Chains A and B, each alone.
Chain A
């Protein structure tokens, strides 16, 4: 009886509803609080971790039982092509300043973080996980898989970077005297991906469009360049 109960707890029949419930909880918490600090993933992952701990369920068992969600990540990355296509017209109007900033930003974001981590004496797994810092999570996960970085660490870093930039970024630019929503949106898209894009959409539609554009292009660029740089193909 108890054995059956344990295998039920480790199976998709319990784990998938748990994931959905935790996601809805995280979403509610985020909406009620109204702060980017509590991005839905923060509340949701804390709740799941608490349940796994209290019921003594192994993380690897939980991962196996969540296979359906992992399987949907691929199509979700493909779906990013749609907002990219819808915003591509903007780049023709603002032209090469956007292209230059995109390339510089896509390189700068991970390099600055890796240099700081190196100076602070971080271990190799940390450095690898930081490499995917500036891309939206589903792409970062695929890249992490390719360059053999720890997926969990990568997600944590991506979400945390996004929260930092989304919370402090707009105030920082106002302090620097930059009021252009195109600039704010683009910087948010490169450095805070989906979280920054959500924040940008709250500021204005123009800001949101630039953020979505920067996020999509930055993700594609990093996904193309990073595995080549780390030599994972060999």
Chain B
């Protein structure tokens, strides 16, 4: 595969992402949807890919590059944590408790629920197999 064609693939992938992002934003604004425009764009692209039946190579390339840079993209927002002024010590403590305990609790409950549901489903399959 020659370099110019690679570049063309890459550009077409980037164009698809930009177009979906723009279309999502416009749709969200025009229809006054409560859903963020970028998420509308993601659903548009997902629907498109399901209809197309695959992922174009250029699109897969651009997307994996962009997703690898995710931490860089939300760095400016993350830096803001160091500049929060309107929270007092009590808020910080509540926040710490909520995230630590809350995360571990919901993590455990999710795992236990899925374990139960999966073993039920597998049991039923086996029973149907016996009939």
| Residues of A in contact with B (beta carbons under 8 Å apart) | 19-20, 22-23, 26-27, 39-41, 44-46, 48-49, 52-53, 59, 62-63, 66, 69-70, 72-86, 88, 94-98, 100-101, 104-105, 108-109, 112-117, 120-123, 125-126, 130, 133-134, 137-139, 141-143, 145-146, 150-157, 159-161, 164-165, 168-169, 172-173, 176, 178, 180, 182-184, 186-188, 190-192, 194, 219-220, 223-224, 227-228, 232-233
Chain A nearest CB from B60 CB (Å) reads 6
- Asked if residues B71 and A41 are in contact (CB atoms below 8 Å), the reply is yes
A139 vs B48: C-alpha distance when bound (angstroms): 20
Write the nearest CB–CB distance from A77 to chain B, whole angstroms: 4
Check if B102 sits within 8 Å of A112, measured CB to CB.
yes
Known pairs A74-B37, A88-B50, A182-B114. 14 more at Cβ < 8 A?
Answer: A44-B75, A75-B38, A77-B36, A81-B46, A82-B55, A85-B49, A97-B121, A101-B114, A101-B117, A109-B102, A125-B86, A138-B74, A186-B111, A233-B33
B71 touches A228 (CB 8 A): no
**Partner pick for B17 among A78, A134, A153, A219, CB 8 A cutoff:** A78
CA distance A6 to B99 in the complex (A): 39
**Contact status of A113 and B49, CB under 8 A, knowing A191-B110, A224-B35:** no
Instruction: Give the Cβ gap from A98 to chain B, nearest Cβ, in Å.
Output: 7
CB of B3 closer than 8 Å to a CB of A = no
Taking CB atoms, residues of chain B closer than 8 Å to A66 are 75-76
- Do the beta carbons of A78 and B79 come within 8 Å of each other? no
Option from B17, B72, B102, B106 in Cβ contact (under 8 Å) with A105: B106
Complex contact A77–B98 (CB within 8 A): no
Instruction: Contact check, B98 vs A122: say whether CB atoms are below 8 A apart.
Output: yes
Given A76-B70, A77-B41, A80-B67, CB of A125 within 8 Å of CB of B87: yes
- The distance from the CB of A63 to the nearest CB of chain B, in whole angstroms, is 6
B residues within 8 A CB of A194? 70
Residue pairs across A and B with Cβ atoms less than 8 A apart, 5 shown, are: A73-B38, A80-B42, A84-B46, A116-B102, A169-B107
B103 at the interface (CB under 8 A from A): yes
Which one of A96, A125, A155 contacts B74 once the chains associate, using CB atoms below 8 Å? A155
Contact of A126 among B38, B49, B66, B95 (CB under 8 A): B95
Main secondary structure of the interface of A (DSSP, over half): helix
Q: State whether B111 touches A75 (Cβ < 8 A).
A: no
Identify the closest chain A residue to B33 (Cβ). Answer: A233
Which of B37, B45, B72, B77 is within 8 Å of A23, CB to CB? B72
**Which of B45, B79, B87 makes the CB contact (< 8 A) with A49?**
B79
Q: Is the CB of B71 within 8 A of A44?
A: yes
* Nearest B residue to A184, CB-CB: B111
Q: CB-CB contacts of B68-91 with A at 8 A, as 1s and 0s?
A: 011111111111111110110011
Q: Top 5 nearest A-B pairs by Cβ distance?
A: A152-B80, A113-B102, A142-B36, A97-B117, A120-B94
Q: Which residue of the partner chain A has the closest CB to B113? A: A101
Contact A116 B97 (CB under 8 A): yes
Could you mark each residue 18-56 of chain B with 1 if its beta carbon is under 8 Å from any beta carbon of chain A, else 0?
Answer: 101100110000001111111101110110011000010
Q: Does B1 contact A (CB under 8 A)?
A: no
When C-beta atoms are compared, the residue in chain B nearest to A157 turns out to be B99
Quick check: A112 and B39 within 8 Å, CB to CB? Answer: no
Cβ-neighbour of A143 out of B36, B71, B90, B95 (below 8 A): B36
